[in-house]
Amino acid sequence: MTMNSLRRRKRISHLVFLFFVWPVKVQLSLERDTPSPSNVFSESEYLVSPNKLFWSMFFNPENSSNRYLGIQHMHTEMKIIWVANRENPFIDIDGYSHCFLNITEDGSLVLSDGNATSITINSESPAPSSNTSATRLNTGNFVLRAEEEVVWQSFDYPTDTILPGMKLGLFDQNLKQNKTRKYFLTSWDGPGHPASRIFTLGIDPNNTDQLVIWRRDIPYRHSGKWNGKTFSNFHNIKNYDGIQFSYIPNRSESYFAYNVHTHYSSSWI
């Protein structure tokens, strides 16, 4: 098998739903779970979920000068499960780029660095008012709220990982105009390169109850139909004690999701 084949198989493996369940025993410092306009989240701090399973931090991939804001799953492999600026990294020239995450005066969630570069994370879902707050939830979801309404959430913008409660499918934002949001997973470009690249996993756009892996937008592999227990071609995805997959089709949505019992709360796929 060639080296390119091995790399390709490794990328695919991130999209074929293998479970990892690990105990979590971690001590954190400078912890917070909510940034506010007067309370900036910076390089020296972690934004931590109350259950200590998820934390946000700025990171440089190994052998890279690119700087990202990521959400890390606190098991023994320290899995990065979401990247805010995977396509627009900050450039860490001097080894310390002084990155910040804060809520601006208009209520937006904004990343910035010492070079006056800024990225508005919720640009597709502007805050209706300046009275907003952002919180890391026990589910791993990162939400921006205005009053009690969720304005933006990281679960709506998956990268290469799905957590319990996330959707993998299609959602019609406006049925009359046929505007569809895709909740798909896209592989990293490679180790140390979070940018989305070759492989994408999502639901069949024909609204059938099966998943498809695309390689550069060309169908590469089909899961086969979901029979309520497993897929005919993806045998790793199945219901068993503690983990429950489901397929939800309705007028505005068509998606797969999974839920877990408490003792599987640290799972990801």
Q: pLDDT: is 143 or 1 the higher one? A: 143
Strand 31-32 to strand 46-48: parallel, antiparallel, or no bridges (unpaired)? parallel
Please report, for the chain, the start and end positions of each structural domain, with discontinuous segments joined by +.
1-17+162-269, 24-156
Tell me what pLDDT residue 15 has: 45
Tell me what pLDDT residue 51 has: 86
For the chain, how many residues are written? 269
Task: Assign 31 a pLDDT band (cuts: 50, 70, 90).
Answer: very low
Q: How far is Cα 102 from Cα 121, in angstroms, rounded to an integer?
A: 10
Contacts 24+ apart (CB under 8 A), 29-32: 31/55
Greatest alpha-carbon span in the chain: 56
* Cα-Cα end-to-end distance for the chain: 26
Tell me what pLDDT residue 33 has: 65
Q: What are the backbone dihedrals phi and psi of residue 6, each rounded to the nearest 5 degrees, phi first? A: -65, -40
Q: Is the pLDDT of residue 27 over 50?
A: no
251 burial level (CB within 10 Å; 0-12, 13-18, 19+): exposed
Q: Is the pLDDT of residue 43 over 80?
A: no
Fold of 24-156: Agglutinin, subunit A (2.90.10)
Q: Is the pLDDT of residue 87 over 50?
A: yes
Task: Assign 267 a pLDDT band (cuts: 50, 70, 90).
Answer: low
Tell me what pLDDT residue 268 has: 61
Q: Is the pLDDT of residue 22 over 80?
A: no
Neighbours of 142 (CB within 10 A): 25
pLDDT digits (tens, 9 = 90+) for 99-152: 889 898 899 999 998 778 899 999 999 999 888 988 889 899 999 999 889 999
Chain centre distance of CA 1:
32
Query: Which tokens is 16 given?
Result: 């074929």
In this prediction the pTM is 0.81
Tell me what pLDDT residue 16 has: 43
